[in-house]
Amino acid sequence: MKKIIVLATAICLLAPTPFVHAKSYPTIKCRNHYDIIEMVSDSMDMMYEVDYIMWRESRCNASVINRDDPNGGSIGLFQINKFWCKPNKYTKQGFLQDAGVLTKCKELYNPVISGRAMMAIYDYADNRYGDGWGPWGGEPKWN
């Protein structure tokens, strides 16, 4: 009997644990866009932050537009404002065009391009202001 208990204990200790971290994570809400979440995330925390933003902004619907937002509205999964893809005093074409993400604002309806645009804006805000989620109102409170 002692051998069985020792063997069972050894198996439990050596078996991979289903928990990545000590804290528990919520369920991914935008499962239909898991590939986008994975593409733009560099950690488990960021995966849930990206999912939270996608859910809060568009309910995981890539064809959403909020025409009430300034500068022509906000588009797609991450509700990226058209300001980011229009010429202004800082850029001839638009920030996202200069970053090589897209050529026209309507491309933000494409989930992959929307994800790349989110990454470009996140990186810009993180480098400039120390808060990549600033353009979306600050760090998501998913937990």
The string of pLDDT tens digits covering residues 30-84 is 999 999 999 999 998 899 999 999 999 999 999 999 999 999 999 999 999 999 9
Assigned domain for 65 exists: yes
- What's the average model confidence in pLDDT over 100-111? 96
Percent of residues, the chain, with pLDDT higher than 90? 71
Is pLDDT larger for residue 79 or for residue 7?
Answer: 79
Is pLDDT larger for residue 143 or for residue 19?
Answer: 143
Query: What average pLDDT does the structure give for the chain?
Result: 85
Assigned domain for 115 exists: yes
Q: Which of 26-30, 48-52, 94-98 is predicted with the least confidence, judged by mean pLDDT?
A: 26-30
Q: What is the pLDDT of residue 2?
A: 52
Assigned domain for 8 exists: no
Number of domains within the chain: 1
CB of 24 within 8 A of CB of 115? Answer: no
pLDDT at 23 over 70: no
Assigned domain for 79 exists: yes
Q: What is the pLDDT of residue 16?
A: 44
Q: What is the pLDDT of residue 68?
A: 96
56 Cβ neighbours under 8 A, 6+ residues apart: 140
- Rounding to the nearest 10 degrees, give the CA dihedral for residues 31, 33, 36, 37: -30
Radius of gyration in angstroms for the set of CA atoms belonging to the chain, rounded to a whole number:
20
Assigned domain for 17 exists: no
Residue-number span of the structural domain to which 120 is assigned: 25-136
Assigned domain for 52 exists: yes
Q: What is the CATH number of the domain that holds 57?
A: 1.10.530.10
Assigned domain for 11 exists: no
Assigned domain for 6 exists: no
